[in-house]
Amino acid sequence: MSDTRSEGRAQAPGFFRFGLGSFEVVPLHDGVLSRDRPAGFVRNASDAEVGEAFATAGMPRDKLTLTFTPLLVHTGRQAVLIDTGLGTAGPAGTGRLAANLAAAGVSPEAVGTVVISHFHSDHIMGLLKADGTSAFPNAEVLVPEKEWEFWMDEGRAASAPEALQAQFAGARKVFGDRGDAVRRYGWGEEVLPGITAVKASGHTPGMSALEIASGDEAMMFVADITNNPVIFARHPEWQAMFDMDPEDATATRRSILDRAASDRLRLHFFHAPFPATGFVAKNRAGYEFLPALWE
């Protein structure tokens, strides 16, 4: 019998289309990274407790697997990309946005606007090609004003702790030469017709969720309000090591998940299993992530 295993073969393109009113929404897979789960991954739970939660969810108890899923929105006026993944700056297994954008039939030149949720490297580095030029040459770039104020502050960068220095450096690499070419937006602002910024601070000082509405339908791109929602929806009180202000991050998570559960609002999590879109329902302890059906 011949060996039909797929060793060495490329994965199928990672994109998924669904309708939202008159908009078309397309999650785009940027890749996956798996590594040993760091000790103290959750600040306020033991490693054993966290490992048990991972195992209960069907995941290896000692591994941390991160998926990366930017979101493309065809509004009828233009193609809008929300976050950009790691580009060529990430480890093996990441940086697949460009290939999956092409597989979805969209050229980089066709992207009219890029909206950034926050300045962590896995959300901004895809703005650049390997040679340092713009990956989306015709796109206006929109960023949260509070993220810009924090990460582009020279004094804060000079005194930053070692754990944050790479993030400050990444922000400068991406945005240092853009200056006035970048439009900054505030919470509560309709940044584009049908797309409104929502306060989602805690993970970073200025992180923004993006509410997307067309006609009578709405959803929300919630960026990193959770690490993996399969875990952190069930344990909304847990404080991940990546959250800069753990108490604020917890309050943000509960606020958005409460609304989503009450309003049956579709959410798109940047780090959820692909295609990273679905709903949440309340349970006794917290919430449950309910992946949307593949249609």
Is residue 278 in some structural domain?
Answer: no
Is residue 292 in some structural domain?
Answer: no
Is residue 96 in some structural domain?
Answer: yes
C-alpha radius of gyration, the chain, whole number: 19
Cα angle for residues 45, 221, 128 (degrees, 5° grid): 100
Q: Distance between alpha carbon 199 and the CA centroid of its chain, in Å? A: 15
Q: Report residue 295's pLDDT band, with 50, 70 and 90 as the boundaries.
A: confident
Give the tens place of pLDDT for each residue, 209-233: 999 999 999 999 999 999 999 999 9
**C-alpha span between 23 and 171 (Å, rounded):** 31
Identify the three-state secondary structure at position 145. helix
What DSSP line would sit under 251-269, residue for residue? HHHHHHHHHHHHHT-EEEE
**C-alpha span between 221 and 54 (Å, rounded):** 24
Share of the chain above pLDDT 90, in %: 91
Q: Are 157 and 183 in contact (CB under 8 A)?
A: no
Give the tens place of pLDDT for each residue, 97-139: 999 999 999 999 999 999 999 999 999 999 999 999 999 999 9
Is residue 97 in some structural domain?
Answer: yes
Number of domains comprising the chain: 1
Q: Are 237 and 44 in contact (CB under 8 A)?
A: yes
Instruction: Give pTM, 2 decimals.
Output: 0.95
Range of the structural domain that residue 101 is part of: 18-221
User: What CATH number does the domain containing 95 carry?
Assistant: 3.60.15.10
**pLDDT recorded at residue 55:** 97
Is residue 201 in some structural domain?
Answer: yes
| CB neighbour list of residue 153: distance below 8 Å, 6 or more residues apart | none
Is residue 115 in some structural domain?
Answer: yes
Give every strand in the sheet of 287-291, ordered side by side: 190-192, 195-199, 208-214, 217-223, 266-269, 277-282, 287-291
Examine residue 193 and say whether the peptide bond preceding it is cis (omega within 30 degrees of 0). no
Give the tens place of pLDDT for each residue, 250-267: 999 999 999 999 999 999
Phi/psi of residue 52, nearest 5 degrees: -65, -40
Is residue 141 in some structural domain?
Answer: yes
Give the pair of three-digit tokens for residue 97: 């946005």
The mean predicted confidence, pLDDT, of the chain is 94
**pLDDT recorded at residue 182:** 95
Is residue 80 in some structural domain?
Answer: yes
Q: Are 230 and 277 in contact (CB under 8 A)?
A: no
**pLDDT recorded at residue 177:** 79
Q: Are 143 and 184 in contact (CB under 8 A)?
A: yes
Identify the three-state secondary structure at position 22. coil
